[in-house]
Every structure is written in structure tokens, then in C-alpha cells.
Amino acid sequence: MPFVKVASLSDLPVDSVIEVTLGDNLYALCNDRGTIRALSGVCAHQGGPLGQGQIANGRLMCPWHAWEFDCRTGENCDDPGARVATFEVRLEGNEILLQVP
């Protein structure tokens, strides 16, 4: 599966998240305490925009109803069965590349 450049490191300060759109798919690109991670940008609850949420202590919080997901695993912090997909990322210099299905 190909890696696609989606952002620069300078776009994503520590403990921030941005929304990335590739085709019809939304991704939440996270800087989790200095590690770049990518999750589905669609919340497992009611489809809220996770890429517009907030990050604290390794958890990405949905802006709609405050469900929290582990940035590393995509698991819901209260119900591990309610998870969102995670995706591989790669850094090339200052560029963030996302592996897309």
C-alpha cells in the first residue's frame, strides 16, 4: 500500500491533531507527545470529526460527545470494542506520509 505525503511536521505541534482528507476518506493525524500517529477521522460513536478533536495524555477526544480514543491503538478508552482504525505513518525529513489502503 502506498505512502502519501499529507502534512509537514511544522503543521502538527506536540499534542495537536489535524484532519486530513484523501479521496472520500477522513483521517485524524495526531502528534501524540512527539510521536506522529494516524487514526480514522470518523468517530465510532456517531461519525463525529475526530480530526477536529483535541489530544491530551495520548487520548484523542471527539468534539461531538467527548468519546476518547487511544491514539496508539484506536481503542475507545471506556469500551475497547468501540475502536477506530489506525494507519501507518512514516517521516521523511519534515514531511509526514500516511499509508493509505
Q: Can you give the binding site for ligand FES, defined by CB under 6 A?
A: 43, 45-48, 62, 64-65, 67
Between 11 and 19, CB nearer to ligand FES: 19
- Burial-class residue 86 by CB neighbours within 10 Å (0-12, 13-18, 19+): buried
Residue closer to ligand FES, measured from CB, 3 or 64: 64
**C-alpha span between 39 and 95 (Å, rounded):** 18
**Residue placing its CB nearer to ligand FES in the complex, 29 or 50:** 50
- Rounded to a whole number of angstroms, the minimum distance from the CB of residue 25 to ligand FES is 17
Q: Specify the pairing of strand 95-99 against strand 3-8.
A: antiparallel
Report in angstroms how near the CB of residue 46 gets to ligand FES at its nearest. 4
Q: Is the Cβ–Cβ distance between 96 and 7 less than 8 Å?
A: yes
